Amino acid sequence: MASALERQQAAFAGSMSAAASKIGGTKRALAPPSPSPSIGSTTSAAAVANPRKERDTPGASASGHPIVYSQPINTGTGDSDIAQMAYAVSWLRTKEEPQGYADVLGYLSGTNRPESEQEFFVEQMRRHPQIQWIPDPNLSEQTWRTGTYLHRPTIPNVRTKTQLLAYLQKKTDSSGVSVKDLKDGWPDCEAAISDLEAVHKLLVVRAKKDNVARMVWLDDSSLFHDIDPELKVMWSRVEVPAVDTIVQRLLTAQQKPASEDPRLKLMQAPKVEKKKKRAQRRTGKSTNTHMEHLLKDYSYMKR
């Protein structure tokens, strides 16, 4: 006879076979997994699905390359009145003869603008500090179309060596003249400055980096004297004693050295600390007489 354990094992095996037969009838075959798409295939598929995506993307040019927004686009002379006025001043700076309003607007491509905008721009030109308006002498009444315009430099009427020397001679103070201000009305003044400096008619301060003239003063050529080269050689051979030796010799000769600064003695002298005086309290008459009854001491009335 079979044991109880064997009977249980046989019953379990029978139940498992019955369950397997039921499941097998409804089992479906699974499709094999598709391989993962590569990067190239996905890119090509996206391009085929939307071929105009790259061209229509904001920030891309017609050729497909992205636009670099850090580089400003050349828009000509600008549309704002401030930019237009700056270009007008720069253009008039290059002209030696006065120009009419039509010439200025023609350079700025503003002749096609409405008449009101042209008139407003001309009025602003007449108020600009760097533009000089010359009225028409043949007309008694001026309009916004009349007159000519000329650049007004920072230093007017200085365009030659003679004019520069005359301007410096008329100065009433010892201040120098900025070369930058000279170039505003005389752009090629550096050559003339160098020529005047060579003949000792100008004192020039130049930049150490590029030796460009920065400031000029009037010089006197009569104060310049040539020194004999032999004297220069002899002077270079003179042995100058030390400073301490010179001071000692001057003191021995009972002379005061020029290097002795009286301020140094004050700095080297010991400082004497001054005692601070105690401020005395002021005892004045009380003026709050109307509050005396409130300030009285009533402590003696306590029980």
Domains of the chain, CATH where assigned: 81-151 (1.10.10), 161-223 (1.10.10)
pLDDT string in tens for the chain (303-residue length): 557 777 777 777 777 666 655 555 544 444 444 454 444 444 444 444 454 444 444 444 455 555 555 444 444 445 678 889 999 999 998 888 999 999 999 999 888 889 999 999 999 999 999 999 999 999 999 999 999 999 999 998 899 999 999 999 999 898 899 999 999 989 889 999 999 999 999 999 999 999 999 999 999 988 888 899 999 999 999 988 888 888 888 889 988 887 666 666 667 777 777 777 777 776 656 667 777 777 777 777 777
Q: Does the global pTM surpass 0.85?
A: no
Going through the chain in order, the beta strands assigned E by DSSP cover 99-100, 131-134, 148-151, 177-178, 202-206, 213-218
Which residues are paired to 66 by β-bridges? 60
d(CA 223, CA 205) in angstroms, rounded, equals: 19
